[in-house]
Chain A
C-alpha cells in the first residue's frame, strides 16, 4: 500500500520527536518568553499611539494574530534547508536517492511526525488558551474550516520554498548563508513577526504578489475574520492554490535539473 510507507515515516518521526522532551520544554519556554516580550512591546506601542485601533487592528487582534503566528511558525518550521544542505555536503544524499521514494516526499514525510507532535503539544494548547483567555475574540465557525484548508496549502507553499532553497545547496557549500537569507525574508514578508496590516502601503502591494504572505498572513486573516465574504475566501484560497501549484512545479523542476549535477559530479 502506497500510503503505508509514508505513514511509517510519520510514526518514526513521532517516536523521534518524543525522545526529546527537553527540547519540547525549551521550545515552550522560548515561545512564552517571546510572547511576553511581544505583549509588552505592542502594549507600549498601542499606549503611545493614543488610539485603540492602529492600522485597522485592535491591541487584542494584534496579540491574537502574533500568538497564533508564532504557534503556526513553530508548527511549520521544518529545517529542510539545513537537512538538505547537510546531506548534500556529506554525500548522504546518495543514500536518499536510492530509497524507493522520491527525495522530496521522503524528506517531507520523514518530518511529518513532528507535525503531529507539534500540533498536539504546541499549536492546539496555544489555540485553546488564546480562545479561552480572549473569551470569544477568535470566532469559532465556518472560518475554522477555511483556516484548516489554508494551513494545509500554507504547508505546501512553505515546504516548496524550503525545498527550492535547499536545492541551491547543490551549488554552494554555504548552508548557513543560504538558510539565513531565506529565513529572514520569509519571516519578515510573511507577516510572521509583524502583521502585514502594519506595513506601509507601497510595501504591502509588493508583498501581495510574492508567495510569502500566503504562508502565515493568509490563514490567520481567514481565522480571525468571523464572517468573511465568499469573495474574500475564494480570493485567498484561490491565490494560495495557485502558489501551491507554481511553487511545487518550480521546486520539482529545479530539483530535477540540479539532480543531474549530483549524478554527473558524484555529489
Chain B
C-alpha cells in the first residue's frame, strides 16, 4: 500500500484580533488594536495509504478543518512539509483539486436551482471526465443507490439527506484519489445515516478511494474507520487502530442495573458504597464503570444486590464514544 498523503511536522498559526468589551472598549478599538497569534495546528505528522478510511476526530476548534484545508491546498502551512499524491498541495492547487473530492455536511456545493444531473454535467466538463468513465460512474451509482429519481430533482427541493447523498456522489464523480468528508451525516435521521455510511463504504471499496472523515458521530467511525487520528488544541493525541485504542480501556466494562425507587438518588447511595468506581444514572439505568483489573463485575453485582432490590441488569463493553470522550477529557496515558 503506497502512501497518498505524507505530512511531516506541519504547524499553522493565525493572527487573531483581540476585541475589547463595552462601549469604552469599542471606542478604544477605533484607535488601537492588538493581535495575538493562535497556533491552530501544532507539529502534526502522519501518513495515509491509498484506499484507507481514516477517522479524523477532535472536539470543536481542535484544528481539524485547518489540517484539511492544508491537505486540500487552500491553506499554506506556517512550517512543515505536506505531500498529497506526491506534490505540494498549495503550490499546485488546481492540479491537486483534480485528485480530490470534498464534501461539507452543512454546505452543498451543487447548483441550487438545477436538477442533479445538470450539476453532474457541469462537473463532468470542469473535471474533464472522459465520457465512458462518466457513464460507468453513473451506472455504479445506480447499482449502489437508486439515483434515478434524484437525478431530475432540483437540489433546492431535496431533503437534507438526499442533498448530502448527492453531494457525496458529486465528490466521487471524477474518481478522485482522496475524498474529504466533513461531518457527512450531520443532522440526518438514523436510516439515512446508515444509507450514507453504506454508500461511502461501497465507493471506497469499489474505487480504492482514500477517505478522510471528520465527524462527531461515533456511529460513523464504528461503521467506517479502522484507523482513527485524534487531535486536540492542534496537537496529535492518538493515531492508530480503533481496536488498539479500545484495548487501552479494554478492562473497563459498564454494569447497568435497574432498581426500585428514584434512580438518581440510588446512584448517589451506590457511589457512596463504591467510592473508587464511576457511578451515574439516566432515566432508565444506573451505570457503574467497573475496572476488571480491580474488581469482578459479578462481585460488584453481588454487593449491589445486598442493599438494593435489583430488577434487571445488563453488561456493556465500553463504546468508541466513551473511549473518545475519555481521551478528550484525560488524554492518552
Q: Please tell me whether chains A and B touch each other in their complex, using a CB distance cut-off of 8 A.
A: yes
Interface residues of A (CB under 8 A from B): 11, 14-15, 18-19, 21
Q: Give the shortest distance, in Å, between B155 (CB) and chain A (any CB).
A: 18
Q: B23 touching A14 by the CB < 8 A rule?
A: yes
Chain B interface, number of residues (Cβ within 8 angstroms): 7
Q: A19 touching B23 by the CB < 8 A rule?
A: no
Chain B residues whose C-beta falls within 8 Å of the C-beta of A18 in the assembled complex: 26-27, 29-30
Residue in B19, B26, B27 whose Cβ sees the most chain A Cβ within 10 Å = B26
Chain B residues whose C-beta falls within 8 Å of the C-beta of A19 in the assembled complex: 19, 26, 29
Chain B residue nearest to A12 (CB atoms) is: B23
Chain B 21-52, CB-CB to A under 8 Å as 1, else 0, gives: 01100110110000000000000000000000
Chain A residues whose C-beta falls within 8 Å of the C-beta of B29 in the assembled complex: 18-19, 21
Q: Give the shortest distance, in Å, between A15 (CB) and chain B (any CB).
A: 5
Chain A residues whose C-beta falls within 8 Å of the C-beta of B19 in the assembled complex: 19
Chain A residue nearest to B22 (CB atoms) is: A15
Q: Give the shortest distance, in Å, between A7 (CB) and chain B (any CB).
A: 12
Residue contacts A-B, CB under 8 angstroms, 15 given: A11-B23, A14-B23, A14-B26, A15-B22, A15-B23, A15-B26, A18-B26, A18-B27, A18-B29, A18-B30, A19-B19, A19-B26, A19-B29, A21-B29, A21-B30
How would you classify the secondary structure of chain A's contact residues: helix, strand, loop or mixed?
A: helix
10 smallest CB-CB distances across A and B, nearest first, come from A18-B26, A15-B26, A21-B30, A15-B23, A18-B30, A18-B27, A19-B26, A14-B23, A11-B23, A19-B29
Chain B residue nearest to A18 (CB atoms) is: B26
Chain B residue nearest to A21 (CB atoms) is: B30
Q: Give the shortest distance, in Å, between A69 (CB) and chain B (any CB).
A: 27
Chain B residues whose C-beta falls within 8 Å of the C-beta of A15 in the assembled complex: 22-23, 26
Q: Give the shortest distance, in Å, between B90 (CB) and chain A (any CB).
A: 29
Chain B residues whose C-beta falls within 8 Å of the C-beta of A21 in the assembled complex: 29-30
Q: Give the shortest distance, in Å, between A18 (CB) and chain B (any CB).
A: 4
Given contacts A14-B23, A18-B29, 9 further A-B contacts (CB under 8 A): A14-B26, A15-B22, A15-B23, A18-B27, A18-B30, A19-B26, A19-B29, A21-B29, A21-B30
Chain A residues whose C-beta falls within 8 Å of the C-beta of B23 in the assembled complex: 11, 14-15
- Give Cα A21 to B33, complex, Å: 11
Chain B residue nearest to A11 (CB atoms) is: B23
Q: Give the shortest distance, in Å, between B226 (CB) and chain A (any CB).
A: 42
Residue in A11, A14, A21 whose Cβ sees the most chain B Cβ within 10 Å = A21
Chain B residues whose C-beta falls within 8 Å of the C-beta of A14 in the assembled complex: 23, 26
- Give Cα A240 to B19, complex, Å: 43
Q: Give the shortest distance, in Å, between A189 (CB) and chain B (any CB).
A: 37
Chain B 121-159, CB-CB to A under 8 Å as 1, else 0, gives: 000000000000000000000000000000000000000
Q: Give the shortest distance, in Å, between A162 (CB) and chain B (any CB).
A: 26
Q: Give the shortest distance, in Å, between A122 (CB) and chain B (any CB).
A: 15
Chain A residue nearest to B25 (CB atoms) is: A15
Chain A residue nearest to B19 (CB atoms) is: A19
- Give Cα A66 to B22, complex, Å: 37
Q: Give the shortest distance, in Å, between B214 (CB) and chain A (any CB).
A: 27
Chain A residues whose C-beta falls within 8 Å of the C-beta of B27 in the assembled complex: 18
Chain B residue nearest to A16 (CB atoms) is: B26
- Give Cα A93 to B283, complex, Å: 37
- Give Cα A14 to B29, complex, Å: 13
- Give Cα A69 to B23, complex, Å: 30
- Give Cα A40 to B251, complex, Å: 86
